[in-house]
Structure 1
Amino acid sequence: MPDADPCAPDVVRPVVIDSPKRLFLLSPCALEREFRWTLPTFPMRLGETSRRAAARHLRRVAHLPALRISPLIGRLPRKDVPGGVQYVVVVRPATGSWPTSVNPSLSPGAQWWTTAELRSARAPVDPVQLLDFMDGYWDGWLPDGEIPLD
């Protein structure tokens, strides 16, 4: 799985979800000297939308079946690239549920979590705004479109 290109100013971070309100997080990685559950990160091409970049990577790189991307998009500044942006997009299967092969496609150590499980376990996540963002998505109190998460 490719990491973000440090030369690409913008990246997309898809939140892969399923019907029981679970999100798929990659196994803990060391960020800022602590381990956090994180989202995949993919570089965006110049002029490419976050939704298109997510679809391109998830379909072509991870070989996921047909997917739907929510019109809700979170926007955060990148800490590692001045002026860079990271976009958080919500992705679900177009029909039914994801195949069991979604785990190895994205990361062998990844896990499905609910936001309640993450909060209960006090599991650190990256970005830190992810749990509130997802609760807002599932509860329907976030409007469609791009919203700042910082």
Structure 2
Amino acid sequence: MDDAPSHGHDVVRPVVIDSPKRLLLLIPSEPEGDEICWTLPAVPMRPGETSRRAVTRHLRRGVHFPPLRISPLIGRLSRRDAVEGVQYVVVVRPAAESCPPAVRCAVAPEACWWTTAELRSARALIEPAELLDFMDGYWGGWLPDGEISLE
């Protein structure tokens, strides 16, 4: 089963993970204020494109990421940076046990691996704010496969 197609104002936010239950986050190119806010890339979806296809297009073709495993769990929430549209959070793992530094550099040189516990302990600002609960639910097996609302 594939996810709903985009309507042209949607973005997908890939959460790249590795086996020690870490996620790869970026520092935005234009941080707001004095505090650093860790985030996920926001990949514009083409009209009619599904979130899974957009993730594959961006990571495989755009940043030459190794072959992917895409989770059947997809988070959905409203875009906060636009009047219209949805943002999808999609969990992605390299299909082979790729070296985490190589994956990090493929995504962005300023990217950093974090566990949700480290992010909570550091009281780090995260965008989207729902990401930590989503990832804890994913790793804990609390969330069903398919698309769920994060709002």
TM-score by structure 2 length? 0.88
User: After superposition, what is the alpha-carbon deviation per residue over 1:23-47, rounded to whole angstroms, capped at 9, x for unaligned?
Assistant: 0001255248753100011000111
- Which SS does the other structure have where 2:60 is aligned? helix
The residue correspondences of 1:23-38 to structure 2 (distance < 5 A) are: 23-27=23-27, 30-31=31-32, 34-38=35-39
Q: Within 5 A, what are the aligned runs for 1:1-40?
A: 8-27=8-27, 30-31=31-32, 34-40=35-41
Residue 75 of structure 1 pairs with residue 69 of structure 2: no
Cα distance change of structure 1 residues 26 and 18 upon mapping to structure 2, 3 Å threshold: same
Query: Matches of residues 1-150 of structure 1 in structure 2 within 5 Å?
Result: 8-27=8-27, 30-31=31-32, 34-98=35-99, 100-150=101-151
Match of 1:4 in 2: none
**Greater shift in the superposed pair: 50-59 or 89-98:** 89-98
How far is the alpha carbon of 1:78 from its aligned partner? Answer: 0.6
Q: Which has the higher strand share?
A: 1
Deviation string, structure 1 residues 48-100 (Cα, Å, up to 9, x no partner): 10011001100001101101100000001012222200000000011223453
- Aligned residue identity for 1:112: W
Residue 17 of structure 1, CA deviation: 0.1
In 2, distance between residues paired with 1:98 and 1:145?
29
Secondary structure of 1:82's match?
coil
Q: Deviations over 1:95-127 (max 9, x none)?
A: 223453222222111100000000000011000
- Contact 2:18/2:100 (8 A) holds in 1: no
In structure 2, C-alpha distance between the alignment counterparts of 1:76 and 1:98, rounded to whole Å: 31
Cα distance in 2, alignment partners of residues 50 and 33 from structure 1:
32
Structure-2 change in CA distance of 1:78 and 1:31 (3 Å): farther
Structure 1: runs of 5 or more not aligned:
1-7
2:65–2:107 contact (8 Å) kept in structure 1? no
Comparing 119-128 with 32-41, greater Cα deviation is found at 32-41
Identical amino acids, percent of aligned pairs: 69
RMSD: 1.6
2: CA distance between counterparts of 1:115 and 1:45? 31
CA contact (8 A) 1:18 1:98 kept: no
Structure 1 distance, partners of 2:69, 2:142, is 20
**8 Å Cα contact 1:27-1:107 kept in structure 2:** no
